[in-house]
Amino acid sequence: MRWLKFFLLLLLLPLGACALNAGSTYPTEHRGPYALDAGDVLRVSVYGDDSLSKTYKVDDAGTLAFPLVGTIKVRGLTTPQAAAAIAAALANGFMRNPNVSVEIDTYRPFFIQGAVKSGGQFAYVPGMTVRAAVSTAGGYSDTANRNRVTIYRGEGGEVDKADVDLDFPVEPGDTIVVAERWL
């Protein structure tokens, strides 16, 4: 009987090590500064011209409709790059040495569906994790798998899919799917 316990312990030890090493299958490397995309709302300040200083929404094409200069492509740009693009467009015959700043007023939303109490589209908050996103959606349903979820994230025109844990960071535009558990 003593040998049986010892044998079972030796058998279960490698399985325990696998559980300790289980991590996210999603590449979690830092991707750099936030890149603008459709759905973001930007607060643009043009110093010296209050009529141009407003909030503007990035449209589905990834552009900003800006007075005087028309559309400006901002998809994939950071906020300082977008400010430089707007300043360059204004400097092209409309203003002398424009000073422009761009801030994110509202991030594009994230989406959550599956075994949550109220799925749908929700406002993104910087630093949000999957756990916080589930809480935003009203929590889990009674049949939800409470340990892991699937996340879909757009990367360079493609959509990546990965199973992640609850402390994985959410980004704007992500779609989170909470699966049901099977007993």
Class of domain 109-183: alpha beta
- Smallest Cα–Cα separation from 26: which of 133, 141, 176, 139? 176
Q: Where do the CATH 3.30.1950.10 domains begin and end in the chain?
A: 41-106
Could you tell me if 126 and 110 are in contact, meaning their C-beta atoms sit under 8 angstroms apart? no
Q: The pTM is what? A: 0.74
pLDDT in tens, the chain (183 residues): 665 554 544 555 454 444 444 444 444 444 678 889 999 999 999 998 999 999 999 999 999 999 989 999 999 999 999 999 999 999 998 889 999 999 999 999 999 999 999 999 999 998 899 999 999 999 999 999 888 899 999 876 788 899 999 999 999 999 999 999 876
Q: Where do the CATH 3.10.560.10 domains begin and end in the chain?
A: 109-183
Distances in whole angstroms, Cα of residue 70 to Cα of each of 20, 66, 94, 117: 55, 5, 12, 43
Distance CA 118, CA 64 (A): 32
Q: Mapping DSSP to helix (H, G, I), strand (E, B) and coil, where does residue 145 land?
A: coil
Q: What CATH code would you report for 41-106?
A: 3.30.1950.10
